[in-house]
């Protein structure tokens, strides 16, 4: 019985010691990373009806990415870590999406000759699962023999959430970028045309991130995000060609059907686009500042200052 008790004590002690070096370390380490502000900058990519690779059948997928149509984007956000494995981030994203049939040699899309660009403004809330983390606050001073006590903040995480965005597709006409929504290029709201839609949609962002800490407050992350939308009008292309003679302006008539070759393929009633929801991607370099640790150190200094005053 005595041997069994000794074994249990030794096992518990070993587990406790080793537990300090597991992925999620101690309560102190992760809890001092609870609140962070985020700033990101990177690239955007649109997957929809326009542009893409030189073959059909891969639309709306990573295989159909159109590198020349890559845009730029940025974000700001606030992250709150409420559990060693879980965090939530509120983010505001701003970016430019592009698509251009001229970038492909696939004959149908190249002949169709449609193009667009759109500003995307998105507000989202996401939930993050931190499935790997190495977080340690090391020695504040670099003393001889203490080189192993450095700061660590490495994480790998998955995320998903919900958001809402605003878009405003435009195309170039007579040397100027012209908003397409007011032109009703597919007869939106007109007799026999497509139904009218709003310039906003619900989104579902999902992706993964890898980050590395520098010091006690700064972290750098690379995040890849896929954003599913519930609109097929981000590129202003959805259904069939409308009779251009029934559109109001020369701009609407031209931008509804600027086909340059094989024009018989693009007559009124022919397919202009696929009725499939649009999507887009972000690839961002994100800078994060840990604001929890600053709050903690200020509170700790205040505590010791008050304690010292009471002694005198």
pLDDT, average across residues 281-291:
94
Contact (Cβ atoms closer than 8 angstroms) between residue 279 and residue 229: yes
Question: 49 in a domain, yes or no?
Answer: yes
Cα distance between residue 112 and residue 110, in whole Å: 5
Asked if residue 106 has pLDDT above 80, the reply is: yes
Question: 11 in a domain, yes or no?
Answer: no
* pLDDT the model gives residue 57: 52
Question: 103 in a domain, yes or no?
Answer: yes
Contact (Cβ atoms closer than 8 angstroms) between residue 119 and residue 134: no
Question: 259 in a domain, yes or no?
Answer: yes
* Residue linked to tokens 């518990």: 12
> pTM of the entire structure?
0.80
* pLDDT the model gives residue 103: 87
Residue 115 in 3-state DSSP?
strand
- What is the domain range of residue 233? 23-311
Asked if residue 247 has pLDDT above 50, the reply is: yes
Question: 196 in a domain, yes or no?
Answer: yes
Question: 232 in a domain, yes or no?
Answer: yes
DSSP-derived pairing of the beta strands 35-47 and 71-81: antiparallel
Q: Which residue has the higher pLDDT, 300 or 266?
A: 266
DSSP-derived pairing of the beta strands 176-179 and 152-173: antiparallel
Q: What is the pLDDT of residues 188-246, one digit of tens each?
A: 989 988 888 899 999 999 999 999 988 778 899 999 999 999 999 999 999 999 999 99
Q: Which residues lie across from 76 on neighbouring strands?
A: 39, 92
Give the pLDDT band (50/70/90) at residue 268: very high
Lookup: tokens for 192 = 């026999």
Question: 267 in a domain, yes or no?
Answer: yes
Q: Number of structural domains, the chain?
A: 1
Contact (Cβ atoms closer than 8 angstroms) between residue 22 and residue 85: no
The CATH number that applies at residue 228 is: 2.40.160.20
Report the Cα 63 to chain-centroid distance in Å: 19
Question: 8 in a domain, yes or no?
Answer: no
Contact (Cβ atoms closer than 8 angstroms) between residue 269 and residue 244: no
Mean pLDDT taken over the chain: 82
Instruction: Measure CA of the first residue to CA of the last residue in the chain; give whole Å.
Output: 54
Asked if residue 42 has pLDDT above 70, the reply is: yes
């Amino acid at each position: 019985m005595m041997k069994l008790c000794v074994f249990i004590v030794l096992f518990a002690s070993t587990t406790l010691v080793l537990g300090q070096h597991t992925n999620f370390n101690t309560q102190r380490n992760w809890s001092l990373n609870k609140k962070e502000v985020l700033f990101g900058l990177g690239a955007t990519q649109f997957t929809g009806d326009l542009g893409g690779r030189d073959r059909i059948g891969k639309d709306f997928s990573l295989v159909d990415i159109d590198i020349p149509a890559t845009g730029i984007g940025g974000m700001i956000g606030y992250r709150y870590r409420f559990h060693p494995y879980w965090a939530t981030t509120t983010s505001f994203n701003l970016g430019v999406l592009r698509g251009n049939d001229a970038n492909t040699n696939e004959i149908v899309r190249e002949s169709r000759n449609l193009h667009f660009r759109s500003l995307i403004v998105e507000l989202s809330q996401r939930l993050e699962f931190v499935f790997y983390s190495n977080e340690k606050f090391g020695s504040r001073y670099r003393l001889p023999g203490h080189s192993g006590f450095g700061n660590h903040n490495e994480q790998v995480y998955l995320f998903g959430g919900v958001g809402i965005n605003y878009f405003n597709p435009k195309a170039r006409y007579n040397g100027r970028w012209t908003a397409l929504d007011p032109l009703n290029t597919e007869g939106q709201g007109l007799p026999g045309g497509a139904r009218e839609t709003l310039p906003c949609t619900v989104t579902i962002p999902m992706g993964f991130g890898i980050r590395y800490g520098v010091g006690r407050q700064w972290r750098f992350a690379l995040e890849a995000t896929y954003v599913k939308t519930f609109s097929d009008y981000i590129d202003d292309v959805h259904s069939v060609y409308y009779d251009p003679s029934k559109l109001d302006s020369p701009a609407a008539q031209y931008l509804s059907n600027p086909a340059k070759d094989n024009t018989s393929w693009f007559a009124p009633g022919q397919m202009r686009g696929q009725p499939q929801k649009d999507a887009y991607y972000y690839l961002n370099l994100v800078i994060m500042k840990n604001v929890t640790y600053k709050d903690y150190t200020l509170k700790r200094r205040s505590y010791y200052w008050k304690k010292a005053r009471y002694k005198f």
